[in-house]
């Protein structure tokens, strides 16, 4: 290889063979090629990480939906329990059952099988609320056997009727 020495005031001229030029270019771009390869490997690994994170996010969303559904069911069940505690189903007591039986005997003994609420209150010696509870118990124990009508002549008064079997 010959190199001519050129004085500094003039432009330098290099004479290279094609093989020498190829070698110089390879050396110059080799760091860039290495960096591109490294960046491609980084992008590929990040793509795998993103895919794994998407799977994890879907799994967490599924778990969240399950938790929301479970909480909604728990809340609904708690509301039913609270409603049952606030408004318990009232079973008739012995006194109400006894009064209902007395009303049944009284209506059976009457020829028309009718009695006004006022008459029944006097017969049992109770107020209208207790009478209503007793009549409700009586009608609940024998559905379709008793009826309530308005008293002819006074639409404000009610009559309990024992219907034929």
Does 27 have pLDDT greater than 60? yes
Question: Span 77-105, mean pLDDT?
Answer: 90
> pLDDT averaged over the chain?
89
Band (92; pLDDT cuts 50, 70, 90)? confident
Phi/psi at 116 (nearest 5 deg)?
Answer: -75, 160
Question: Span 35-59, mean pLDDT?
Answer: 95
- Shared domain check, 101 and 37: no
Boundary (domain end) residue, out of 31, 60, 89: 89
Query: What percent of the chain stands above pLDDT 70?
Result: 94
Per-residue pLDDT at 156: 87
Picking from 128, 62, 130, the residue whose alpha carbon sits closest to that of residue 95 is 130
Does 12 have pLDDT greater than 80? no
- Shared domain check, 18 and 33: yes
Query: What percent of the chain stands above pLDDT 90?
Result: 70
- Shared domain check, 111 and 81: no
- Shared domain check, 102 and 60: no
CA dihedral sign, ordered 101, 162, 141, 79: negative
- Shared domain check, 101 and 82: no
Band (4; pLDDT cuts 50, 70, 90)? low
Whether the Cβ atoms of residue 137 and residue 92 lie closer than 8 Å to each other: yes
Picking from 150, 141, 147, 140, the residue whose alpha carbon sits closest to that of residue 164 is 147
pTM of the model: 0.48
Domain of residue 51, residue span: 1-89
Least confident range from 7-21, 80-94, 140-154: namely 7-21
Boundary (domain end) residue, out of 72, 89, 106: 89
- Shared domain check, 112 and 69: no
Per-residue pLDDT at 1: 58
Boundary (domain end) residue, out of 58, 89, 120: 89
How far is it, in rounded angstroms, from Cα 102 to Cα 115?
12
- Report the domain count for the chain: 2
How far is it, in rounded angstroms, from Cα 141 to Cα 144?
10
pLDDT per position as a tens digit, 117-163: 999 999 999 999 999 999 999 998 888 899 999 988 888 899 999 98
- Shared domain check, 52 and 98: no
């Amino acid at each position: 290889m010959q190199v001519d020495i050129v004085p500094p005031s003039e432009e330098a001229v290099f004479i290279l063979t094609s093989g020498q030029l190829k070698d110089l270019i390879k050396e110059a771009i080799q760091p860039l090629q290495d960096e591109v390869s490294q960046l491609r490997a980084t992008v590929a690994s990040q793509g795998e990480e993103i895919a794994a994170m998407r799977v994890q996010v879907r799994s967490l969303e599924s778990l969240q939906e399950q938790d929301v559904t479970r909480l909604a069911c728990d809340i609904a069940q708690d509301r039913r329990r609270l409603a049952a505690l606030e408004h318990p189903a009232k079973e008739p007591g012995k006194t109400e059952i006894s009064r209902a039986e007395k009303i049944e005997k009284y209506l059976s003994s009457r020829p028309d099988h009718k009695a006004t609420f006022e008459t029944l209150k006097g017969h049992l010696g109770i107020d209208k609320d207790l009478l209503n509870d007793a009549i409700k118990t009586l009608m609940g124990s024998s559905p379709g056997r008793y009826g309530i009508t308005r008293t002819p002549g006074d639409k404000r008064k009610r009559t309990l009727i024992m219907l034929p079997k």
